[in-house]
Structure 1
Amino acid sequence: MDETHHWVESNHGVYVFETLDRNVRKTSGAGSRWVQTTNAFNPAENSVAQRVAESTSKSRLYDCREAQRNIDLDDEEALLAGLKEAYGDSYWVDFSGLVDAIQDKATTPASVAYRFYLNNIAEGADGWMSKEEWDGSFSDSDPISPGDQISVGFDGSLRGDSTGLVGCRLRDGRLFLLGLWEKPREAGPDWEVDVLSVEAAVKRAFETYSVEWMYCDPPYWQEPIGRWSLQYGDDKVFEFWTNRPTRMTNAIERFRTAVSTGDLSHDGNEHITRHVLNAVTREVPQGLLIQKNSPKSKKKIDLAVCSVLAFEARADAIADGRLFKRRRRVAGF
């Protein structure tokens, strides 16, 4: 059984493992055995690799080489030593190539480096964005102004999760908060999002800025999104289903790369920052998705989703030729 950190409930990997394990146990007297090889597992996924690692069965031998924790990835000497510790006697490994891959931060997030190269298994190792990386995109210069061309990302809920609205300036990829509706701590179980307040915020965004493209995650909000499309233009307001892995993983990857390369900035808004840093990754065949650290977690990530949608909407608006578009003038004689 190979790559069992990918064997999870959603792809039926757990079912396959349980079937194999039962059959091996039935014939263990005849010398039957199974063996697994795996990378470090994601503690949020409860994969087969995690289940076996945490098993108390005396019939299983668990062997793992893990590098020292919290190695400075920019320290080439320390990184090389950590890689050699993790890979042991794997003489065929190209360590210089691994160092180069890890230090290419545009394509290798720190969480991936620690998990897949240094074999570190730890809570939080699956974090999507480190505070250091996100703070590196902060800028307090050139604030957003009325009339700026922007794109908008919207992720809505009614009760459990937050509802958010994030803008992104077209000319430089600068993110800013347009609205957040989040259940207060003191609120009771009957709390709901103020739909009229959300409607007002969307109206205010279109009146204040030149909104060129808006992506909206439709669940629970298809009727309002349809009205926004009629009111503000079906060439500006679009549905974006975040539960479609191929499209969403591509958008998340572009956002993550933009943070690493400095092609995105933000004004340090505390709510966007909190949601971005709350997000953890989940690996699917198409790539990496972002999610809460557990289904019932109170650490919300909705503004992180809004930010991804706003940045993706910016890219599509620019590709459509809407950046610095010429405005028609009519002269009278």
Structure 2
Amino acid sequence: MTTAPHSEADAQVDLDKLEPVRIGPTWERNPDHPSGWHLPELTLGWHVVMWQADNLQHPTGKPWRYTPEQLRFVLWWYAVTPDLRWLYRDGVLQRLKGWGKDPVVATLGGTEFVGPCRPDLSGRTVKDPWGNEHPAGVPHPEAWVQIAAVSKDQTRNTMTLFPALYTKAALERYSIDLGKEIIYAHKGAKRIESVTSSPRALEGGRPTFTVRNETHHWLSNNEGHEMDAVIDRNAVKSSDGMSRALSITNAYEPGEDSVAEQARDAYELIQAGKSLATGLLYDSLEAPPEAPLSAEAAPKVVELIRGDSTWLDVQRIVQAILDPRNPPSRSRRFWYNQIVAAEDAWIAPYQWDALARPERLVEDGEDITMFFDGSKSDDATVLVGSCVSDGHVFLIDHWQRPTGLDSKLPWVVPRDEVDAAVDRAFDAWGVRAFFADPGSGEDDSGERFWDGYIDGWAARHGESLAIKATLTAGNHHPVMWDMRSTVRQQEFTEATERCYSDITSTLTLTHDGNRILRAHAVNARRRPNRWGVAIGKEHRESPRKIDAAVGAIGARMARRKLLASADWQKQKAKKVRTGRVYGFN
């Protein structure tokens, strides 16, 4: 994943040698082709642009023409296989702010509405500028185009372009009725409509083409995730199997787990050969990670990544970049089209991703340490493990308020489910240390929400643990590890710094690649205190959870304590002497 260095103290970079990060077939060169570019062998795109030249127009009234960069993207978006199926079933167009994403998808939506948007199965063809034959297209008889976003303002960016997009002749030819929310054609047989975050209302529809607008804003807490899932389901069940969705986005903020972030993750898994899914067209032009954010470098970098969008005012953008009110991370996302962490992020996404080892399986009966981070309702409750042999971190389970649940409805962590998960963990593995932070929530009786359960875990499993969580004077407990005390806060801060070093310097931490664990690690922010640097949420009311990151640090901390304990050393020696696997279960 492309990202910038944490430090803005830029090293010496040869600006003349900077090259943008090019993603997607749009940017592949072919010296043997007259255009110099790698273009699809078969595409409906040539017929699309011919039709657009006759029926669509720029705001000035001139016939619609794409820039060369936009044209290549459209040709690839409409690329087909020899049996006239789409080469790509889904797409993402990621560009810097102001590039012109909305006009491009408006022209595509306008074409899908009344233009040649499906291959002509009769075998009719058109020719490209070099005389090569490509399939011609036909209109969809019941076109249903949706412009989707999580707010009306976002859909408005695209919807307001349609009234001026069609020529007067096209409006008459296709009987287009221009409404503010819904545009009809052919006496209501076809329509373009704007839709926002109401997944239930969308469920069951059969749109023929959908634009996902500004997917970096599509989050779990605004129903963006569910909306995306509904759009995907609706496309899959389309009558001709040819319905598709195209996303447009700026560079997203890592850790939000936006739909844009999920799409990029999916693309990178496909590229790495770790996913059997195919058919995702991802197109992006990004500044390289080493690109300086300076007055000298910014003009050069912006010119590199604006592509053909020469209408962008480079100097105006540079002024915004240099404005001290704009954090560097925001400037890099908006104007360098880079995917970067916030300035106070604990770690960068690429640092965490590099340590994923999903193939590393935790074997039945394997010795592990475990950390529990408890909450009552607001934060997540997590159970995280660390393998004693190598420190590998894995998420055992987590519980948090369900996505989409009415905010007025109360929700409480299901303690019995958590209790059962703890027992299953002890049945599955050799849990040698178990530290549990109860949090501060209280139940209806005024007792701390998790105290009784933690005491129960100690009663059932305490004898099998090699070390106790708490051994202070007058307070021995096999499991309870209350982070509210000053001693514990210092201990956890030191553990956080060790974990940070394991991730960024020694690279000795590996993890299971779990999405929840990743999101929480990337959400974590650096929080200096008198003992060093701990982690915390971006602010108290933030919906971005970090509890699994706390659990990972805690599980690694418990492992270090175990390895340093005399009791564990004796148990290891007993294993060697007897030649048998030692276990308490």
Identify which of 368, 374, 384 aligns with 1:156. 374
**Aligned equivalents of 1:204, 1:71: Cα separation in 2:** 41
**5+ long unaligned stretches in structure 2:** 15-290, 296-326, 331-341, 440-448, 469-477, 579-585
Alpha-carbon spacing, 1:281–1:71, altered in 2? closer, same or farther (3 Å): closer
- How far, CA to CA, are the matches of 2:410 and 2:294 in structure 1? 55
The one-letter code of the counterpart of 2:549 is A
1:113-124 alignment, distance < 5 Å: 124=342
Of 293, 304, 315 in structure 1, the residue corresponding to residue 538 of structure 2 is 293
State the Cα distance separating 1:84 from its structure 2 match.
Answer: 12
Matched, 1:200 2:420: yes
Gaps of 5+ in 1: 1-68, 86-119
Task: Letter of the 1:230 partner, please give it.
Answer: A
Q: Is the 8 A contact 1:174 1:264 kept in 2?
A: yes
Letter in 2 for 1:239: M
Instruction: Give the Å deviation of 1:241.
Output: 2.8
Q: What's the CA shift string for 1:267-308, capped at 9, x where partnerless?
A: 101110011111111111211121111111111111111111
Q: Output the CA distance in 1 between the equivalents of 2:527 and 2:396.
A: 28
Q: Which structure: larger Rg?
A: 2
**Are the structure 2 counterparts of residues 177 and 78 from structure 1 closer, same or farther at C-alpha, using a change threshold of 3 Å?**
same
**What is the one-letter code of the residue matched to 1:191?**
W
- Amino acid in structure 2 at the alignment position of 1:318: L
2:523 to 275, 278, 288: 278
The equivalent position to 1:185 in structure 2, one of 403, 408, 431, is 403
Deviations 1:1-25 (A, max 9, x none): xxxxxxxxxxxxxxxxxxxxxxxxx
1:32-181 equivalences under 5 Å are 70=4, 76-78=11-13, 124-181=342-399
Contact 2:375–2:438 under 8 Å retained in 1:
no
1:240 to 481, 488, 505: 481
Kindly tell me: are residues 253 and 156 of structure 1, through their superposed partners in 2, closer, same or farther at Cα, counting changes over 3 Å?
Answer: same
Q: Normalising to structure 2: TM-score of the pair?
A: 0.36
- For the pair 1:252 / 2:187, whether they are aligned, the reply is no
User: Aligned equivalents of 1:233 and 1:200: distance in 2?
Assistant: 16
Spell out, residue by residue over 1:212-246, the C-alpha distance to the aligned partner (whole angstroms, 9 max, x if none). Answer: 10111123312211221121116454332334331
Letter in 1 for 2:539: S
Within 5 Å, which residues of 2 pair with 1:22-41? Answer: none
The structure-2 alpha-carbon separation of the partners of 1:197 and 1:285, relative to structure 1 and needing over 3 Å to count, comes to same
Partner of 2:508: 263
Q: What is the letter of the counterpart of residue 317 of structure 1?
A: L
Deviation at 1:71, TM superposition (A): 5.8
Tell me how far 1:187 sits from its aligned partner: 2.1
Residues in 2 aligned to 1:192 and 1:257: alpha-carbon distance in whole angstroms: 35
**Aligned partners of 2:542 and 2:364: how far apart in 1?**
36
User: Once superposed, what is the RMSD of the aligned Cα atoms?
Assistant: 3.2
**Structure 1 residues 187 and 145: CA distance shift in structure 2, 3 A:** same
Q: Which amino acid aligns with 1:221?
A: W
Q: After TM superposition, give the deviation of residue 77 of structure 1 in Å.
A: 2.5
Q: Percent identity?
A: 31
Hey, what's the Cα distance between the residues in 1 that align with 2:522 and 2:533? 16
TM-score by length of 1: 0.62
| CA deviation string 1:185-216 (max 9, x = no partner) | 22243111110000001000111100010111
Count of residue pairs brought into register by the alignment: 229
Over 3 Å counting, the alpha-carbon distance change for 1:165 and 1:121 in structure 2 is: same
Greater relative contact order (Cα < 8 A, sep 6+): 1
- Mapped to 1, the partners of 2:362 and 2:389 lie a distance apart of 11
